[in-house]
């Protein structure tokens, strides 16, 4: 993608129905130096934003109204024009089964809440650096 | 019927007793008639009044004697004195009424008949001799021999004629007695047979009563089972038992089902087919009715089997039913059919599903706010632009510690819910136990230092490897070590050791703490149980740690034991099976 090859920062869509956590994720994204292009409050809006904006990364909550994070992942992976979008799932589910389901739905990474904003920011920075 | 037979038999017995007074009666009547006749024509007939009086007295005596013998309960041979004495009385009568010319000599025949009717030929002789003596009495009294041939004839020949008659009577009565004996024997046999058949009839009746009682018991037990379906079938699956529980569950009465429907008709064909495939039945014709065979496979092999099946009600509704299938056997132990006892678990499954859903929801709803709390606390701590004071950082630490405690509690709750519903995921790998213990001890060290408890680790030189879930085993070690520290007063000691014992890796966490009362040891692993020593000493906790630890150890095929003495200390012993080939150095 031109956005990354040009040395410009990643464009990121985040989706989370809980406003406080959404704010926490957006802080982590900003601290990692990424470009937050859209914040969605439900799964439907998240997919719509991803499909419209073609971001480099989407950070999605698993449990959301209208579409779950898993459904958004599947929908994105079903669309060939979106195959460069990296997907990160954030979940309050704890067991390994939930993680396996998330990865099977097409997510690249799966994090369990509660997450450390600092650690998430560091991980996002790493991801972006690695892809260059 | 029996009473009349018995009365008859009794009457037969009495006939043989032959009351002497009855036998005496004809002699007595004849004698009395002769007496009245003599008195009526005294001038013409009576020649000796004294003899007549004597005869009367003797006859009365004989009759009284007869009456006496009749009253005896056991017959006596001596009753034959009665006809003997009667002969004497008749002889005296004859003497009183003209002696050899008396009209009444023929009366002698009556006692003769009586005596000669006795069993045994000798009595004929006795009778003849007696009669002879009686008829010859006048000559004995007068002390002279008979003069004329006619007198000889009357005195000697007449008794001989009587004797012949007596022989006939004796023979007739012998035959009569034989017949009576035969009849009596037959009657006795008849009575015995009757008694026996009555006894058998009684036993049959008793058996029938017992059978009916057993049948009633079975029926009432079957009818009493209203929440479970009890269905019985023959070897082909044709239904012959259908209790009220089955009627309730499947919507058909026993009349509509018994002998008309097959068990497999109430099952989903797809399920039966699938089970047939699982059991590797050859496809098609080789197994008769493969669906039903699949249903009773275990029972056919003599095992009871409990398995969830879908029952299809008469109205098409479907139920999930836990069905226990057992064989029915006959007296020889041959299987003659099957019994299907079904419990409707549709509701229970729904409740379990709702519970899982609820636990998941609660867990999610609790973790989301905790995520916010912990995330923002971290942001506050890491705010480089306006750093917090040392005091503020300390307050923040307390808030963080408690938020983490809450988070652990939520995790534990979710975990115990998973354990109790049997959904307990383990990620199996090779786990180095020494390393796991070291990590647990390391993370427990700050707490031990703060509590003033010495924490000692004793590890073997060689690492011990087990197959298991590294995270869960670490959690088990964490729980046991943090418990030990929590329950040990300041200045105490906690020792964590690992050793290879038999085919097992044994982890022992021993403390010098407050101990657990012996009476509470068996409740230790119950959810939310807290030892009285724990509550008394105000040691914080909710009572989930040991429940979880025990579940983890059990899921790894291991065992968790405890030894404790109040006031002395507690040791938890966690034994985990080692793989067959030991991994060492």
- Report the mean per-residue pLDDT for chain B: 84
Tokens for B266, please give them: 């109430």
Whether residue B221 is predicted with pLDDT greater than 50 in this model: the reply is yes
State the average pLDDT over residues B132-146: 74
How many pairs of residues across A and B have Cβ atoms under 8 Å apart?
A: 52
Judge: B368–A27 Cβ closer than 8 Å, yes or no. no
Nearest CA in chain B to A113: B371
Mean pLDDT of A95-122: 86
**Residue B381 CB contacts under 8 Å (≥ 6 apart), including other chains:** B388, B393, B396, B400
Q: Is B4 on the interface with A (CB under 8 A)?
A: no
The string of pLDDT tens digits covering residues B104-116 is: 878 888 888 888 8
Which among A91, A56, A92, A50 has a CA at the least distance from the CA of A74? Answer: A50
**Least-confidence region, from A80-84, B4-8, B248-252, B384-388:** B4-8
pLDDT of residue A24: 94
Tokens 């009577």, residue?
Answer: B169
pLDDT over 50 at A58, yes or no: yes
The structure tokens 């002789």 sit at B125
**pLDDT bucket at A4, cuts 50 / 70 / 90:** very low
The per-residue b/e assignment along B71-85, b for 16 or more CB within 10 angstroms, e otherwise, is eeeeeeeebbbbbbb
Q: Is B561 left (phi over 0), alpha (psi -120 to 50) or beta?
A: beta
Q: Over range B54-77, report the average pLDDT.
A: 84
Task: With CA atoms as reference, report the closest residue to B434 among B525, B499, B524, B513.
Answer: B499
Whether B414 and chain A come into contact, CB under 8 Å, resolves to yes
Testing the interface with B: which of A32, A65, A91, A94 to mutate, by most B Cβ within 10 A? A94
Task: Label residue B581 by pLDDT band (50, 70, 90).
Answer: low
The predicted model gives B372-382 an average pLDDT of 92
pTM for the complete prediction?
Answer: 0.51
pLDDT of residue B585: 43
The distance of B374 to chain A (nearest Cα, Å) reads 7
Tell me which chain B residues have a C-beta less than 8 angstroms from the C-beta of A114: 367, 370-371, 373-375, 407
pLDDT at position B50 is 87
Residue B184 burial (C-beta neighbours within 10 Å; 0-12, 13-18, 19+): middle
Q: Which of B377-386, B411-420, B470-479 has the lowest mean pLDDT?
A: B411-420
Examine the pLDDT at B76 and tell me if it is beyond 80: no
Mean pLDDT of B379-408: 89
Between A63, A95, A115, which is nearest B364 by CB? A63
Do B473 and B480 meet the contact criterion of CB atoms below 8 Å apart?
A: no
CB atoms within 10 A of CB B373: 18
Which pLDDT score, from 0 to 100, does residue B529 have? 80
pLDDT surpassing 80 at residue B405: yes
**For residues A29 and A36, is the Cβ–Cβ distance under 8 A?**
yes
Please identify among residues 42-101 of chain A the ones whose CB lies closer than 8 Å to any CB of chain B.
63, 92-97
Interchain CB contact of A17 with B (< 8 Å): no
Nearest chain A residue to B406, by CA: A114
Of B195-204, B400-409, B452-461, the one with minimum mean pLDDT is: B400-409
What local confidence, expressed as pLDDT, does residue A7 receive?
56
Hey, are the CB atoms on A95 and B418 less than 8 Å from each other? yes
pLDDT of residue B70: 79
Give the closest-approach CA distance of A93 to chain B in angstroms: 7
- Give me the residue label for tokens 């892809």: A131
pLDDT band at A2 (very low <50, low <70, confident <90, very high): very low
Residue B26: predicted pLDDT: 86
Is the pLDDT confidence value at B234 over 70? Answer: yes
């Amino acid at each position: 993608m031109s956005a990354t090859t040009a040395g410009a920062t990643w464009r990121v869509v985040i989706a989370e129905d809980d406003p406080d956590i959404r704010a926490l994720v957006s802080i982590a994204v900003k601290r990692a130096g990424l470009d937050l292009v859209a914040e969605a409050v439900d799964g439907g809006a998240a997919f719509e934003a991803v499909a419209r904006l073609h971001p480099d990364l989407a950070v999605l909550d698993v449990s959301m109204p209208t579409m779950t994070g898993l459904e958004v992942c599947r929908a994105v992976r079903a669309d060939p024009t979106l195959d460069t979008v990296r997907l990160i799932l954030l979940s309050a589910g704890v067991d390994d089964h939930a993680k396996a389901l998330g990865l099977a739905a097409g997510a690249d990474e799966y994090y369990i809440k509660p997450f450390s904003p600092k650690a998430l920011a560091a991980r996002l920075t790493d991801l972006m650096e690695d892809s260059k | 019927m029996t009473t009349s037979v018995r009365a008859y038999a009794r009457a037969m017995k009495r006939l043989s007793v032959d009351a002497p007074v009855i036998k005496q009666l004809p002699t007595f009547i004849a004698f009395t008639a002769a007496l009245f006749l003599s008195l009526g024509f005294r001038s013409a007939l009576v020649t000796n009044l004294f003899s007549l009086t004597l005869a009367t007295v003797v006859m009365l005596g004989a009759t009284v004697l007869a009456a006496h013998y009749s009253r005896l309960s056991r017959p006596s041979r001596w009753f034959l004195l009665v006809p003997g004495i009667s002969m004497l009385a008749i002889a005296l009568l004859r003497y009183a009424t003209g002696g050899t010319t008396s009209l009444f000599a023929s009366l002698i025949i009556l006692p003769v008949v009586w005596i000669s009717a006795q069993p045994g030929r000798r009595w004929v002789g006795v009778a003849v001799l007696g009669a002879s003596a009686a008829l010859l009495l006048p000559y004995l009294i007068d002390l002279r021999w008979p003069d004329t041939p006619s007198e000889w004839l009357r005195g000697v020949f007449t008794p001989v004629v009587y004797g012949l008659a007596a022989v006939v009577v004796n023979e007739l009565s012998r035959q009569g007695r034989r017949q009576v004996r035969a009849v009596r024997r037959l009657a006795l046999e008849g009575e015995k047979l009757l008694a026996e058949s009555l006894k058998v009839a009684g036993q049959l009746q008793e058996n029938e009563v017992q059978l009916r009682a057993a049948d009633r018991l079975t029926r009432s037990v079957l009818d009493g089972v209203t929440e479970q379906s009890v269905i019985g079938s023959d070897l082909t699956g044709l239904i012959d038992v259908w209790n009220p529980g089955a009627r309730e569950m499947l919507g058909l009465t026993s009349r509509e089902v018994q002998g008309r429907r097959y068990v497999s008709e109430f099952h989903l064909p797809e399920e039966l087919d699938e089970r047939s495939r699982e059991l590797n039945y050859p496809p098609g014709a080789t197994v008769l009715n493969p669906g039903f065979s699949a249903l009773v496979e275990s029972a056919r092999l003599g095992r009871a089997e409990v398995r969830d099946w879908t029952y299809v009600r008469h109205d098409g509704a479907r139920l999930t039913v836990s069905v226990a299938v057992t064989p029915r056997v006959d007296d020889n132990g041959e299987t003659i059919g099957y019994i299907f006892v079904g419990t409707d678990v549709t509701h229970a499954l729904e409740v379990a599903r709702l519970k899982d859903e609820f636990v998941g929801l609660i867990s999610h709803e609790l973790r989301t706010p905790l995520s916010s709390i912990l995330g923002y606390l971290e942001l506050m701590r890491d705010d480089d632009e306006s750093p917090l004071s040392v005091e503020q950082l300390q307050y923040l630490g307390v808030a963080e510690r408690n938020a983490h405690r809450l988070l652990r509690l939520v995790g534990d709750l979710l975990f115990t819910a998973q354990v109790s519903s049997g959904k307990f995921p383990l990620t199996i790998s090779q786990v180095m136990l020494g390393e796991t213990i070291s990590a647990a001890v390391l993370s427990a060290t700050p707490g031990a230092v703060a509590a003033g408890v010495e924490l000692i680790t004793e590890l073997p030189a060689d690492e011990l490897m087990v197959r298991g879930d590294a995270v869960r085993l670490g959690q088990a070690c964490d729980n046991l070590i943090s418990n030990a520290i929590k329950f040990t007063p300041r200045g105490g000691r906690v020792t964590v050791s690992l050793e290879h014992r038999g085919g097992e890796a044994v982890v022992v966490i021993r403390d010098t703490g407050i101990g657990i009362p012996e009476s509470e040891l068996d409740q230790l692993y119950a959810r939310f149980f807290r030892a009285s020593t724990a509550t008394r000493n105000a040691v914080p906790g909710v009572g989930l740690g040991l429940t979880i630890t025990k579940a983890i150890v059990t899921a790894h095929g291991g065992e968790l034991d405890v030894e404790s003495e109040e006031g002395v200390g507690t040791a938890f012993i966690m034994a985990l099976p080692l793989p067959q080939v030991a991994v060492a150095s």
